[in-house]
Amino acid sequence: MALTLMKGSEAIAEAAIRAGARFFFGYPITPQTEIPEYMSARMPEIGGCFLQAESEVAAINMVYGAAGTGMRVITSSSSPGVSLKQEGISYIAGAQLPCVILNVMRGGPGLGNIQASQGDYFQATKGGGNGDYHLLTYAPSSIQEVVDTMMFAYEKAEKYRIPVLFLLDGIIAQMMEPVEMPEMVEYKPTKEAKPWAAMGWKPGDDPAKRAVINSMYISTEELTDHTNVLQACYREIEKNEVMFENYRTEDAEIVLTAFGTVSRVARSAVDELREEGYKVGLFRPITVWPFPYDELKKAVNQPQVKAVLDIEVNEGQMLEDVNLAVSGARPVEFLGHCGSLFPTTEEVKARILAMLKEGK
Amino acid sequence: MSVVFEKTQLLTDKQFHYCPGCNHGIIHRLVAESIDELVKEGKLEAGNVIGVAPVGCSVFAYDYFNCDMYEAAHGRAPAVATGIKRAKPDTLVFTYQGDGDLASIGTAEVVHAAHRGEKLVTIFVNNAIYGMTGGQMAPTTLVGQKTTTSPYGRDEAWCGAPIKMSEMLSQVPGSYYIERCAVNNNTNIIKCKKAIKKAMQYQLEGKGFCMIEVLSACPTNWGLNPVEALKWLEENMIPYYPLGVYKDKGAEQK
Ligand SMILES: Cc1ncc(C[n+]2csc(CCOP(=O)(O)OP(=O)(O)O)c2C)c(N)n1
Ligand code: SF4
Ligand SMILES: [Mg+2]
């Protein structure tokens, strides 16, 4: 296994290229600017396209344009920029175009700050733009996990014709870790594989094959039919694509829940408390949409579990999904801060010990 | 018996939904015929064209143009077309946009497509009003013109003088060819078609951003019958929006 020490943003960008992405459209914003910077140097080397758009609004619409031709396309931004992309994301979801979108989250609301944060969980999982839609949303917790997920992200996006969102944060983009890079995938779209794509159609060709990349269905009946198609697809994804990790939960009395980078703090707390003889475990959703409701419920409903502690770098957003999964079967507590203040291992441990002492 | 006229194949058989006297239909036909002719002249491979429809009265243009089509979000057609053209550089890509779409909500996208010198043809249909939403004031609405959101007439002191997009975009270094046309009479229709076809030819030669602005009647929201509407266009719009070539880098080089 060849491990290279890489910066998160560069590893993520390279992984997208290895997964076949040949079109990048974006706009600079901290803490993800190294991604467009990397792309601007790398894309020309491999015959790809890097284009700095005039805004995130334009960038996501360029994604709409390029993805509609069947190519593998990616865009990247951070929270305020991702807010601007919501219009385009909704249209892309409506038009059922596969693509990959990265949100390297920073503090909010508004301009917030440039430190890592998890404040966009609601936006990512509950629909940031208008209309009934979802994005297949991954929240990996290490650079390697982002890279590995990227390698199948386009296949999922294309299988379901859905945009894939990576919910990352400034820490993962800025830190360095050893990574194993996969082999390069050379991707060529075909009309057979993507009959909906705009790849050339002339009068006299089969009218059913003329591409119309569109999210508008003006009659109630047509829009209902269209949303039924989307909803059926979302149910399939919920059935097939849920990803999660149970870490030392099999005999845990306290189950922690956390996603992304902060789950690593939770994991350290679990390991340290285990050393001290406390039975603590971590349940980590890897897909945050679809959320692993049933799997979390199963982990929490074990007889020895006394309570759940949800840890986030926000004021309690995934907490709502955790509560839905637990459905009152156990007390659920929350430890988190907004303003990009990461909980420390010590803080998490102290909270768990207090919970155990209270007999929860 | 010889065929002297045929409907262009680049329009579908779907009946236009446009109001009587609306100029959108004429402009559609000029765009479609230009593509058709370029194919027949061997300058463009059949099927190698993608259009982008706007949000506005021509929102259903994807049902009318008989080629691969996109429907863009309001104002975003130049960004969508940029993505298409970058992915398919050998394809003829055009956007078709109204004045609310291009001159209001989509100014950033069109200015920057021009600025980057995107190899696109933009057909800009200026009818001095928001047709689709029922006749509100556009940035192009003339001073004194009554609309549903300027019921006392457009007041320049309150909301500025009408924006002149051809003049403005011709000042952007990246634009290649900008002309303003009208389709109010046969002479102008023929001129307009020439301009559209020339813009497309420039794109096929790999030249930069081209925009053809077309002054267009909206009898319904101007509250006029089709004949009066054309007269109003001639007496009010053409003087403020003079017809002609604003920029032609191709001609400058000759
Ligand atoms: C984001 C957004 N804002 C507003 C609208 C509503 N809207 C639809 S068409 C339109 C105006 C179109 O006017 P114009 O571009 O001049 O085209 P016309 O109908 O006159 O041809 C507006 C404001 C919309 N669809 N999307
Ligand atoms: S409202 Fe105006 S622009 Fe729209 S179709 Fe009718 S005449 Fe044409
Ligand atoms: Mg208009």
Q: Which ligand 1 atom minimizes the distance to the CA of A87?
A: 1
Residue A327 CA to its chain's centroid (Å):
25
Q: For residue B105, how far is its CA from the centre of ligand 3 (angstroms)?
A: 12
Task: Work out the burial of residue B112: count CB atoms within 10 Å of its CB; fewer than 13 is exposed, 13-18 middle, 19 or more buried.
Answer: buried
Residues of B in contact with A47 (CB under 8 A): none
Q: Cα distance from B7 to chain A (closest Cα, Å)?
A: 13
Q: Where are the domains of chain A?
A: 4-179, 245-357
Best of B13, B36, B86, B172 to disrupt the A interface (most A CBs within 10 Å) is B86
Residue numbers of A between 24 and 53 with CB closer than 8 Å to B = 25, 49, 51, 53
Fold of A245-357: Rossmann fold (3.40.50)
Q: Where are the domains of chain B?
A: 24-253
DSSP secondary structure of B81-124 = HHHHHHH-TTSEEEEEEEHHIIIIITHHHHHHHHHTT-S-EEEE
* Residue minimizing CA distance to atom 20 of ligand 1: B131
Cβ <8 Å between B79 and A23: no
| Residue B254: per-residue pLDDT | 66
| Residue A1: per-residue pLDDT | 63
User: Quick check: A64 contacting B, CB < 8 Å?
Assistant: yes
pLDDT, mean of residues A69-96: 98
Close Cβ partners of A127 (under 8 Å, ≥ 6 residues apart):
A133, A134
| Residue A359: per-residue pLDDT | 76
0.90 exceeded by the pTM?
yes
Q: For residue B30, how far is its CA from the centre of ligand 2 (angstroms)?
A: 18
Residue A273 has pLDDT above 80, yes or no: yes
Q: pLDDT 10s per residue in chain B (254 long)? A: 789 988 999 999 999 999 999 999 999 999 999 999 999 999 999 999 999 999 999 999 999 999 999 999 999 999 999 999 999 999 999 999 999 999 999 999 999 999 999 999 999 999 999 999 999 999 999 999 999 999 999 999 999 999 999 999 999 999 999 999 999 999 999 999 999 999 999 999 999 999 999 999 999 999 999 999 999 999 999 999 999 999 999 998 76
Average pLDDT, chain A: 97
**d(C-alpha B42, C-alpha B155), whole Å:** 51
Residue A360 has pLDDT above 80, yes or no: no
Q: Which ligand 2 atom minimizes the distance to the CA of B20?
A: 7
Cβ <8 Å between B76 and A58: yes
CATH code at B24-253: 3.40.50.970
Residue A330 has pLDDT above 90, yes or no: yes
pLDDT, mean of residues A115-120: 95
Residue A339 has pLDDT above 90, yes or no: no
- HEC string of chain A? CCCEEEEHHHHHHHHHHHCCCCEEEECCCCCCCHHHHHHHHHHHHCCCEEEECCCHHHHHHHHHHHHCCCCCEEEEECHHHHHHHHHHHHHHHHCCCCEEEEEEEECCCCCCCCCECCCCHHHHHCCCCCCCCCCEEECCCCHHHHHHHHHHHHHHHHHHCCEEEEEEEHHHHHCEEEECCCCCCCCCCCCCCCCCCCCCCCECECHHHCCEECCCCCCHHHHHHHHHHHHHHHHHHHHHCCCEEEECCCCCCEEEECCCCHHHHHHHHHHHHHHCCCCEEEEEECEEECCCHHHHHHHHCCCCCCEEEEEECCCCCHHHHHHHHHCCCCCEEEEECCCCCCCCHHHHHHHHHHHHHCCC
Q: For residue B129, how far is its CA from the centre of ligand 3 (angstroms)?
A: 4
Determine what percent of chain A is predicted with pLDDT higher than 70. 99
**d(C-alpha A202, C-alpha B47), whole Å:** 4
- Which of B70, B111, B112 comes nearest A68 by C-beta? B70
pLDDT, mean of residues A36-50: 98
| Residue A284: per-residue pLDDT | 98
Q: Are A268 and A243 in contact (CB under 8 A)?
A: no
| Residue A340: per-residue pLDDT | 79
Helix or strand (DSSP H, E) at B200: helix B186-204
User: Quick check: A162 contacting B, CB < 8 Å?
Assistant: no
CATH code at A4-179: 3.40.50.970
